[in-house]
Amino acid sequence: MKDTYRHQGMRNKLAGIVQEKGISDKRIVNAVKKIPRHLFMDSSFEDHAYQDKAFPIGASQTISQPYTVAFQTELLNIKKGDTILEIGTGSGYQTAMLLELGAVVYTIERQKELFKKTNLFLPKLGYKPKKMIFGDGYKGLPDEAPFDGIIVTAGAPFVPKPLMAQLKVGGRLVIPVGDAVQTMTLYTRKSPKEFEKHEFGEFRFVPMLEDRN
Ligand code: SAH
């Protein structure tokens, strides 16, 4: 599959939609204009790639809606060089967004098939996470902690304690919490023991599943 002027035109439109929905960070809007989302999906969905919608990516998982990716990224408030842990690599689209913003990215995926595919695919587009890990996101990544930010891109039935523990003071955890429907939740670590919690409305993600490798 190729990236053409036609795709670029559709991306510019999508960036406009994301902006209209309330995303104001120019870096994020520019990333939507830049990342060739159609290449992150099966070619049969090519015509849908630049709609603001989630789509199947195999292994009964989805690529998140662009607005949701932009919104979660905005909540992370990334500065260049921040270390970010992502739970749920999936297609790698969110990973690409984090890299476009200059983050140092660690990303975990529990589905082998998706892990393998995205592990090969992302570097081909020039996107190089610091580490891509096949494993269970509930545990986080203690060896590389603490992180400036942690983003969970699957619906979490509860907030995993290890993720809270792996945040720097001042660090942010962005996590959709709930079963069928999730509330987008931001935890900011104020001190080793204190977290501030903010909620941002309802979203629908595929569930964050317990490890069953
Ligand atoms: N950011 C991805 C979203 C993919 S959907 C994208 O935009 O493409 C959520 C992903 O989380 C799926 O790939 C799913 O396999 C993964 N996932 C679910 N539970 C997980 C867990 N416990 N640890 C790591 N990844 C998990």
* 138 CA closest ligand 1 atom index: 22
- Measure the CA–CA gap between 97 and 75, rounded to whole angstroms: 13
Question: Looking at the domain 57-203, which fold is it?
Answer: Rossmann fold (3.40.50)
Q: What is the pLDDT of residues 65-79, one digit of tens each?
A: 999 999 999 999 999
Both ends of the chain: CA-CA distance in Å? 32
Report the atom number in ligand 1 closest to the C-alpha of 59.
Answer: 15
Provide the residue ranges of all domains of the chain, joining segments of one domain with +: 57-203
> C-alpha dihedral over 38, 204, 118, 166, to 10 degrees?
140
> What atom of ligand 1 comes closest to residue 137's alpha carbon?
23
Rounded to 10°, the helix 26-34/66-76 angle is 140
Known catalytic membership, residue 191? no
Q: Rounded to whole angstroms, how far apart are CA atoms 37 and 50? A: 7
Peptide bond into 123 cis (omega under 30): no
For residue 211, the model assigns a pLDDT of 55
pTM flag (> 0.85): yes
Q: What is the pLDDT of residues 137-182, one digit of tens each?
A: 999 999 999 999 999 999 999 999 999 999 999 999 999 999 999 9
32 alpha carbon to ligand 1 midpoint, in Å? 20
Q: How far is the CA of 200 from the centre of ligand 1 (A)?
A: 20
Say which of 24, 64, 91, 191 is annotated catalytic.
64
Structural contact between residues 28 and 17, judged by C-beta atoms closer than 8 angstroms? no
State residue 193's pLDDT score. Answer: 95
**pLDDT tens digits, 103-118:** 999 999 999 999 999 9
Is the CB–ligand 1 distance for residue 64 below 6 Å?
A: yes
